[in-house]
Chain A
Amino acid sequence: MKYVLMFVETEEFAKELEAMGEREREAAYEAVGRWFAEHSGKITHHTHLAPVHTATTVRLSGGSEPVVTDGPFVEGKEVVSGFVEVEVADLDEALKLARSWPACPIVEIRPAS
Chain B
Amino acid sequence: MSGPCPGQVSQEVLARVVREHAGRLAACLVSLLGDFSAAEDLVQDAVEIALRRWPDEGVPDRPDAWLFTVARRRGLDVLRRETKYHAKLAQLCWIEPSRPDDRLRLIFTCCHPALSRAARIALTLRVVCGLSTAQIAAAFVVPEATVAQRLTRAKRKITEAGIPYRIPAADDLPERLETVLAVIYLLFNEGYLSSTGDCAHARDLVDDAEWLATLLADLMPNEPEVAGLLALIRLHRARGAARFDAREHLVLLADQDRGLWDRQAIAEASALLMRTARAHHRPGPYQLQAAIVACHAEADSLERTDWAQILVLYDMLLCLTPSPIIRLHRAIALRYAKGPEEALAELTNLEKALARHPLFHATRAQLLRELGHNAQARECDERALALTANPAQQALLRERLGWS
Q: Does chain A bind chain B?
A: yes
Indicate if B164 sits at the interface (CB-CB under 8 A): yes
Do A90 and B160 have beta carbons less than 8 Å apart? no
Indicate if B3 sits at the interface (CB-CB under 8 A): no
Q: Of A1, A3, A92, A94, which one neighbours B168 at CB under 8 angstroms? A: A92
Instruction: Report Cα–Cα, A1/B159, bound state, in Å.
Output: 11
- How many pairs of A and B residues are in contact by the CB < 8 Å rule? 25
Instruction: Report Cα–Cα, A89/B168, bound state, in Å.
Output: 13
CB contacts (< 8 Å) of A91 on chain B: these are 112, 114, 161-164
9 contacts between A and B (CB under 8 A): A89-B162, A90-B163, A91-B114, A91-B162, A92-B168, A92-B172, A95-B114, A109-B161, A111-B160
CB of B108, distance to nearest CB on chain A (Å): 10
Residue of A nearest to B159 (CB): A111
Interface of B is mostly: loop
Contact with A along B137-174 (1 / 0, CB 8 A): 00000000000000000000000111110001100100
Instruction: Report Cα–Cα, A91/B114, bound state, in Å.
Output: 9
CB contacts (< 8 Å) of B114 on chain A: these are 91, 95
CB of A96, distance to nearest CB on chain B (Å): 8
Centre residue among A1, A92, A96 by max chain B CB count within 10 A:
A92
Instruction: Report Cα–Cα, A89/B164, bound state, in Å.
Output: 9
Contact with B along A66-80 (1 / 0, CB 8 A): 000000000000000
Contact with B along A1-23 (1 / 0, CB 8 A): 10100000000000000000000
CB of B160, distance to nearest CB on chain A (Å): 6
Instruction: Report Cα–Cα, A109/B160, bound state, in Å.
Output: 12
CB contacts (< 8 Å) of B161 on chain A: these are 91, 109, 111
Interface range, A side: 10 to 19
CB contacts (< 8 Å) of B168 on chain A: these are 92
Instruction: List A69-113 residues whose CB lies under 8 Å from chain B.
Output: 89-92, 94-96, 109, 111
CB contacts (< 8 Å) of B172 on chain A: these are 92, 96
Chain A interface (Cβ within 8 Å of chain B)? Answer: 1, 3, 89-92, 94-96, 109, 111
Instruction: Report Cα–Cα, A3/B164, bound state, in Å.
Output: 14
CB of B199, distance to nearest CB on chain A (Å): 38
Instruction: Report Cα–Cα, A76/B164, bound state, in Å.
Output: 33
CB of B165, distance to nearest CB on chain A (Å): 9
Residue of A nearest to B176 (CB): A92
Instruction: Report Cα–Cα, A89/B169, bound state, in Å.
Output: 13
CB of A108, distance to nearest CB on chain B (Å): 12
CB contacts (< 8 Å) of A94 on chain B: these are 162
Instruction: Report Cα–Cα, A95/B160, bound state, in Å.
Output: 15
Top 7 closest A-B pairs, CB basis?
A90-B164, A1-B162, A90-B162, A91-B162, A91-B163, A92-B164, A91-B161
Instruction: Report Cα–Cα, A92/B168, bound state, in Å.
Output: 8
Instruction: Report Cα–Cα, A2/B25, bound state, in Å.
Output: 30
CB contacts (< 8 Å) of B164 on chain A: these are 89-92
CB of B366, distance to nearest CB on chain A (Å): 43
Instruction: Report Cα–Cα, A105/B169, bound state, in Å.
Output: 24
Residue of B nearest to A3 (CB): B162
Residue of A nearest to B168 (CB): A92
- In the complex, besides A91-B164, A92-B163, 16 extra interface pairs with C-beta distance below 8 angstroms are A1-B162, A3-B162, A89-B164, A90-B162, A90-B163, A91-B114, A91-B161, A91-B162, A92-B168, A92-B169, A92-B172, A95-B114, A96-B172, A111-B160, A111-B161, A111-B162
Centre residue among A3, A91, A95 by max chain B CB count within 10 A:
A91
CB contacts (< 8 Å) of B162 on chain A: these are 1, 3, 89-91, 94, 111
Instruction: Report Cα–Cα, A73/B114, bound state, in Å.
Output: 26
Residue of A nearest to B172 (CB): A92
CB contacts (< 8 Å) of A3 on chain B: these are 162
Instruction: Report Cα–Cα, A111/B156, bound state, in Å.
Output: 12
Instruction: Report Cα–Cα, A51/B161, bound state, in Å.
Output: 29
CB contacts (< 8 Å) of B163 on chain A: these are 90-92
CB of B248, distance to nearest CB on chain A (Å): 45
CB of A95, distance to nearest CB on chain B (Å): 7
Instruction: Report Cα–Cα, A94/B164, bound state, in Å.
Output: 11
Instruction: Report Cα–Cα, A1/B164, bound state, in Å.
Output: 11
Contact with A along B77-121 (1 / 0, CB 8 A): 000000000000000000000000000000000001010000000
Instruction: Report Cα–Cα, A81/B93, bound state, in Å.
Output: 53
Instruction: Report Cα–Cα, A104/B161, bound state, in Å.
Output: 23
Instruction: Report Cα–Cα, A19/B161, bound state, in Å.
Output: 37
CB contacts (< 8 Å) of B160 on chain A: these are 111
CB of A30, distance to nearest CB on chain B (Å): 24
